[in-house]
A = this chain, B = another copy of it.
Amino acid sequence: MSLQTPNTTAPVILTGDRPTGPLHLGHFVGSLRNRVTYQDQYRQFIMLADAQALTDNMDDIGKVHRNVVEVALDYLAVGIDPTKSTILIQSQIPELAELTFYYLNLVTVARLERNPTVKAEIVMRGFERDIPAGFLTYPASQAADITAFKAGIVPVGEDQIPMIEQCNEIVRKFNRTYGGEKDILVECKAIVPEVGRLPGIDGRAKMSKSLGNTINLGASADEIRAAVKQVYTDPLHLKVSDPGHLEGNVAFIYLDAFDTDKEGLAEMKAHYTRGGLGDSVVKKRLEGILQDMLAPIRARREELAKDKGQVLQILKEGTFKAREVAAQTMDEVRKALGLSYF
């Protein structure tokens, strides 16, 4: 199989996931779906960020290891094509740790502590004063990941924008100090996908494995059915004849995300809000759409899962290819830092 990207002059885009659990509809809407498009427009690197996942999973490293192949299966099942996208495993590219090491000299402790994303995640994870150093410093690690591949575009959630800003600060400081005539590192641009975050089936703002409110991409037909039954709708919509509300109504939010028959959906919304339409009808439509959408993904996933050796081979080839790129950048950085001798 050729792993050559179709267009080597296209801009580089870096995306990825922490492999801590199976991917779900939230990932599909927020990123996976876009990546299938990106791979025809950009040179796409997709990183399985296992090393970064360890920063707050040092007590359950087996989970990270297990999920590397599971997440790769999700990638391939949704249509990420290893002949177009380079899928890599972060920990297998030591240059990423090496770049991180040097970038730590370009950022102050105070600056890291001011990073809003880091601050929010420290609160979220309940670290308080016992923050692992690797967690505080992970913006430097992320800057290493982005710059190693000279990515000019990084799709992120709104809340991750400060990470991109910090990366660019490091890039500018590096180029200013060690760049000479030609900039060595490349600044990147955050793109925030139009469709925002998908709520969980329980109506909470975020679909998240740890909240148990997800529909996984590999979910069985029964699991999809059961999940749709639980989908949060309008608590004031007690009788079919009552007018229903759309705001915060997860069934309609999901339909907005996945229903391609926009006209039919608009009619259904109108009917629902004026009253006379039961939740069961809405959920039936939603279930049908999700079943249709996920059935081929599940089938591909099951087929691929039969030969995990082949999946590992794809990861190996992608990682090897990515490492060549990262090693080239590391070489330039090492030279700029005066750390070349032999």
- Asked if A134 lies at the interface with its beta carbon under 8 angstroms from chain B, I say yes
Interface segment, A153-161, A181-189, A236-244, A334-342?
Answer: A334-342
- Asked if A97 lies at the interface with its beta carbon under 8 angstroms from chain B, I say yes
**B342-A58 in contact (CB<8A):** no
Q: Name the residue of chain B whose CB is nearest to the CB of A319.
A: B342
B-contacting residues, A297-342, CB 8 Å: 312, 315-316, 319, 330, 334, 337-339, 341-342
B-contacting residues, A201-234, CB 8 Å: none
**B131-A108 in contact (CB<8A):** yes
Distance A68 CA – B95 CA, assembled complex (angstroms):
22
Distance A316 CA – B342 CA, assembled complex (angstroms):
7
Q: Name the residue of chain B whose CB is nearest to the CB of A108.
A: B130
Copy total for this chain: 2
Instruction: Provide a sorted-by-A list of 18 A–B residue pairs whose CB atoms are within 8 angstroms.
Output: A50-B339, A54-B105, A61-B337, A62-B338, A64-B338, A89-B341, A91-B334, A94-B98, A98-B98, A101-B141, A104-B137, A108-B129, A109-B109, A109-B133, A112-B133, A133-B136, A137-B137, A315-B342
Interface size on A, residues (CB 8 A): 53
Distance A57 CA – B18 CA, assembled complex (angstroms):
34
Asked whether A58 and B105 contact (CB < 8 A) given A50-B339, A95-B94, A339-B50, the answer is yes
